[in-house]
Amino acid sequence: EKAQALASRTADHLRSPVICILGHVDTGKTKILDRIRRTNVQDGEAGGITQQIGATYFPIDAVKKEATKLAEGRQLDYNVPSLLIIDTPGHESFTNLRSRGSSLCDIAILVVDILHGLEPQTKESIGLLKARKTPFIVALNKIDRIYDWDAQPHNCPTRDSIAKQPRHAREEFMRRVRDAQLEFAEIGFNTELYWENEDPRKTVSLVPTSAISGEGIPDLLMLLLALPQKLLTDRLMFNPLLEATVLEVKVIEGLGTTIDVILTGGTIREGDTIMVVGLDGPIVSTIRALLTPHPMKEMRVKGQYLHHKEIKAAQGIKISAEGMEKAVAGTQLMVVQDPTSEVEMEYCRDEVMKDFQTILTDVDKSGKGVYVQASTLGSLEALLEFLRSSKIPVSGINIGPVHKRDVTKASTMLERGKEYATILAFDVGVEKEARELAEDAGVRIFTADIIYHLFDQFTAYMEQIKKDRREQVSDEVVFPSISRILPQHVYNKKDPIVVGVDVLEGILRVGTPLVVKHGAEWLDIGRVASLELSKKQVVTARKGESVAVKIQHKNTEHIMYGRHFDFQDVLVSKMSRPAIEILKQSFKEDLGREDWLLVVKLKKMFDII
C-alpha cells in the first residue's frame, strides 16, 4: 500500500515522455506504431491504450506487461504515468514538436531497415535529432527478413528469439548489426546492441525488431522507459508552466478550424485565453472546447469528441477556438493568465512570436538568396538549418502554399543572380497562377516533401547555371598570369608565335590576351591559342610549370618574336575591368589567394580603377 502511494505520488510528479518515430521511408515506422498499439489487444483488453489527438496514450500498466517479459524490465521503476507516442511518424511531426529552438520530443525511435542500413533520410533524421539534442534509440527493423530467420510470435523479446535461430541466420544477423554499427561510426555515433550498451549517455542503443512478428517490441518499450530513468527524469518532472505546441491546423466539420496541440507541460482549461502564432502576427482567442477522441470509438470515426474541462500534460488535444484559420503549425501556444492586463498581453505577444523571429534571423541580410516556403514553422526551420549548413543563402521565407505574391518576391532576385530567383517549396502546394507567373518571369519552383530531394534539385540547378554562365563568358575571362620566355625554346617567331615559357605567377590559360611593356605603352602580342605541357594539350598552366605556348594575333604578320619583343620581356595577362568582374562572378573558386593578389597587382599595372 505504501509502495503504491509512493508510486502514485511520483506518477503525479513525472509527466509522460513524448516519443517520436523517425527514419527513411519504408523502414517500417508505421508498422512499428501499429504493432505497439495492438499490443495487449489480442487477449481482449486494450490495456487502456487510447487514441489521442495526434498521439497514442500508452498507460504504464500496458507497457509494464510487455517490458516485464525481460529480466531488465522487471527491475525498472515504473514511475512515469504513460508513454505518449506521436502518431504521424517522420520528420514533419518531429520538427513541429518544438519550442524556441529545442524539441518537445523527449525520446525518438530511429527506425533503420536492417537489410538496407543507413539511407539518406535516416541521416537527415539524425541531423535533426543532433541539432535538437534529442536522445534516441535505433530500431533495427525487419530482422524477420534475414535469410532463414525463424520468426517467433507474440512479441518475443529479441534475445529469446536470437537464441532460437539457426546458426547461419544468427551469423548473418550479427554481420548486419556490425555493418550498421560501422555506418553509424562513419557519421560519428557509437552504437551497441542495447544489452551490451554500458553507457546510454554516450552510446546509442540498437534494438533489433520485427514489426511483423513483434519480435523486439517488448525490448523497445522497455528501453523507452529505461532511457527516461537514466537520462530524462529532470525533464519529466511535472512542469506547472504551460508548454504546448501546435501540431496541425485542421478544419473539422461542425467545429470550424481547430488546432491540434501536444501539451507537454502544465494544465489547460476550457475558457482559457490563448495566444498562438499567426501568419500576420499573434492570434488571441478563447478556448471554446478542449477535445480528445471518444475512447470507446474506433479511431477513424470522426466528429465524436469527448469534451474536457481541463487537461494535464502530457496529452494530445484538439482545441476549438475562434480565429484559428491563420495559425501556424509548429509554433508554441501560450495561455494568458489575465487577459485584462495589457502588460501580460504584451509579454505574451512578444514571447509567442519569438519562434518566428528566430527564424527570420536566418534570412540573409544582403538580400541575396533563394525563397523558401514550407507547410509549418517546424519544417521551415529544419529546411533553413539544412540550407545554412550547405551555405545556400535565403532571402525570404513564407509558410503555406506558394501564391503569386511569393513568385513576385522571388523574381526580384533575377537581377542579382538567376539561381536565386528560385522558390524551394517544402511539402506545400503551388497555386496554378503562381506556377504560370513563375514560368513567365523565369522563376524556378522546386517542390519536394523530402528535404534532401529539394536540396539535390537545387544544387544540380545551380551547377548547371554556373556551367552555362562560365561557358558564355569563357572567351571574355582573363586569368592573371606573368610568364618568362625561354630563349632556347623559341619554335616559331611569327604566324603563329610558338615559344616555351616558365609561368612565374598566376595561371596561364588558353584564350588569354598577352601583352608586353614597351616604355609606358603596352603592346598586344596576341591570344594564347593553345598550351602544351609535357607533349599534352592543356587549358591552363600554373605557377612553376613550363609550357609551350602558341600565340595568335588578329594581325599576326605585324608581331614577330625578335623584332617587336624578345625573351627579355615578360608576358603579362591583359587585365581589364570587365574581365575582373567576370572572374569574380564566375571563376571565384578557380583562383587561389596568390592569384587574387596578382589580380590586384595587375589592376595597378594597368591603371584600372
Residues that bind ligand GDP (CB under 6 A): 23, 25-31, 89, 141-142, 144-145, 210-212
* 139 grid coordinates: 530500431
Minimum CB distance to ligand GDP, residue 381 (Å): 23
Rg (CA), the chain: 33
CA 230 to chain centre: 29
Q: Which position's Cβ is nearest ligand GDP?
A: 28
Question: Containing H/E element for 192?
Answer: strand 191-193
For ligand GDP, give the closer residue by CB, 19 or 510.
19
Contact 97, 75 (CB under 8 A): no
DSSP string, 315-365: EEEEEEETT-TTB-TTSEEEEES-TT-HHHHHHHHHHHHHHHHHHHTTS-T
Minimum CB distance to ligand GDP, residue 207 (Å): 12
For ligand GDP, give the closer residue by CB, 116 or 564.
116
For ligand GDP, give the closer residue by CB, 23 or 265.
23
Q: What count of other Cβ atoms lies within 10 Å of the Cβ of residue 597?
A: 14
How many residues does this entry show for the chain? 609
Contact 65, 46 (CB under 8 A): no
Contact 445, 423 (CB under 8 A): yes
Minimum CB distance to ligand GDP, residue 216 (Å): 9
For ligand GDP, give the closer residue by CB, 23 or 500.
23
CA distance 551 to 559: 10
CA distance 154 to 157: 9
Minimum CB distance to ligand GDP, residue 208 (Å): 10
For ligand GDP, give the closer residue by CB, 136 or 565.
136
Minimum CB distance to ligand GDP, residue 114 (Å): 9
For ligand GDP, give the closer residue by CB, 97 or 372.
97
For ligand GDP, give the closer residue by CB, 28 or 506.
28
Minimum CB distance to ligand GDP, residue 537 (Å): 52
Minimum CB distance to ligand GDP, residue 191 (Å): 19
Minimum CB distance to ligand GDP, residue 93 (Å): 12
For ligand GDP, give the closer residue by CB, 89 or 526.
89
For ligand GDP, give the closer residue by CB, 211 or 335.
211
CA distance 407 to 444: 9
Question: Containing H/E element for 267?
Answer: strand 267-269
For ligand GDP, give the closer residue by CB, 122 or 258.
122
Minimum CB distance to ligand GDP, residue 328 (Å): 26
Minimum CB distance to ligand GDP, residue 137 (Å): 16
Residues facing residue 481 across a β-bridge: 506
Sheet strands (E) in 37-179 = 50-51, 55-59, 82-86, 98-99, 102-103, 107-113, 136-141
CA distance 14 to 233: 8
For ligand GDP, give the closer residue by CB, 145 or 388.
145
CA distance 155 to 40: 10
Minimum CB distance to ligand GDP, residue 169 (Å): 14
**Amino acid (1-letter code) at residue 511:** G
DSSP string, 4-37: HHHHHHHHHHBPPPEEEEEESTTSSHHHHHHHHH
Minimum CB distance to ligand GDP, residue 125 (Å): 11
- What residues contact 521, with CB distance under 8 A and at least 6 apart? none
CA 40 to chain centre: 37
SS3 category, 60? helix
* 296 DSSP assignment: T
Minimum CB distance to ligand GDP, residue 25 (Å): 5
CA distance 564 to 605: 21
SS3 category, 470? helix
CA distance 23 to 121: 6
**Amino acid (1-letter code) at residue 157:** P
- What residues contact 348, with CB distance under 8 A and at least 6 apart? 275, 282, 334, 336
Minimum CB distance to ligand GDP, residue 30 (Å): 3
Q: What count of other Cβ atoms lies within 10 Å of the Cβ of residue 335?
A: 18
For ligand GDP, give the closer residue by CB, 217 or 236.
217
For ligand GDP, give the closer residue by CB, 62 or 220.
220
Contact 75, 68 (CB under 8 A): no
For ligand GDP, give the closer residue by CB, 122 or 586.
122
CA distance 404 to 402: 7
For ligand GDP, give the closer residue by CB, 111 or 313.
111
Closest CA to 371 of 344, 410, 341: 410
Minimum CB distance to ligand GDP, residue 227 (Å): 21
